[in-house]
Structure 1
Amino acid sequence: MGELVDRVDEQDRLLGVVDRGEAITHHWLHRVATIVCRDGEGRVLVHRRAADMSRFPGEYNFMVGGAAEAGESYEEAAARELTEELGVRVPVRFAFKFLCRGEISPYWLGLHEAVVDEDITPDPDEIAWHAWVTEDELREMARRPTFMADSVDALARYLDRNA
């Protein structure tokens, strides 16, 4: 069995524990925790996913993160993912969640924010390139076909919330 996740319903209530691959195959809802990283100047971290990633290879995104493991809260998953993907341990703050219909499968997306003023060490198995960009630059990048489709809705919600 692979990665275990909590299968949840349309109200994000626990239904049971399932294999993440099975959740995706059957379009069962599960939880994904993401983080928007900002530096001290308010710029947003953007990255390109590694070319050999199983999902969205080589595409750009403004969030780091992944599936919440079975029994893990959104906040716990976000903190873990931040350390795994960027090699930093900084506080994460829950911003909002929404039901993302997803290009591959639907899921609940819990979006968090973190201020990262220290050097990051991106995991090369996950992140091929990264840069800090302004919100205007981010908006421009999100219009390109190489920007991860699943994150476009999250970006609109995030920027509208901060407007």
Structure 2
Amino acid sequence: RPENSSRFPGEYSWLVAGAVEAGESYEAAAARELDEEMGVTAPVRPLFKFLCRGELSPYWFAVYEATVDHERVAPRMAEVAWHGWLSGTELQQAMADWNFVSDSRDAYD
């Protein structure tokens, strides 16, 4: 996350994430956030939902997946300070070593 973010500045997240707007479905929010943060559109598929008891307050957290062409990803620098592709092993090591946003850590766990 960028250092000037109002929430969790400078922390990592392995997710593209954001809030669901009033009247918006989880699926529509997932697709919108993918475009807003990574500059790419793709169909999203639900994986799971859980009650996250994060730092902000308890809230429902839905995780979706999308398959994207990595060459078309164009992160919006106002939303994303850094991005990269990690293998499962690399992500596992990063989760141990890097400072992650609490709800992305909860979703990983």
TM over 0.5: yes
Equivalent residue number for residue 149 of structure 1: 102
**Whole-angstrom distance in 2 between the partners of 1:134 and 1:103:** 28
Any conservation in 1 of the 2:12–2:98 contact (CA below 8 Å)?
A: no
**Whole-angstrom distance in 2 between the partners of 1:145 and 1:130:** 14
Bigger CA radius of gyration:
1
RMSD: 1.1
Alignment equivalent of 1:134, drawn from 87, 90, 97: 87
TM-score by length of 1: 0.64
**Whole-angstrom distance in 1 between the partners of 2:105 and 2:35:** 24
Equivalent residue number for residue 104 of structure 1: 56
Q: Which runs of 4+ in 1 moved over 3 A?
A: none
Alignment equivalent of 2:40, drawn from 84, 88, 112: 88
Is 1:58 equivalent to 2:10 in the alignment?
Answer: yes
Aligned residues: 108
Deviation of 1:149 (Å): 2.1
Unaligned runs of 5+ residues in structure 2 are: none
Percent identical among aligned pairs is 56
Unaligned runs of 5+ residues in structure 1 are: 1-48, 157-163
Cα deviation per residue 1:18-62 (whole Å; 9 max; x = unaligned)?
A: xxxxxxxxxxxxxxxxxxxxxxxxxxxxxxx11111111111111
More strand by share: 1
**Whole-angstrom distance in 2 between the partners of 1:116 and 1:90:** 6
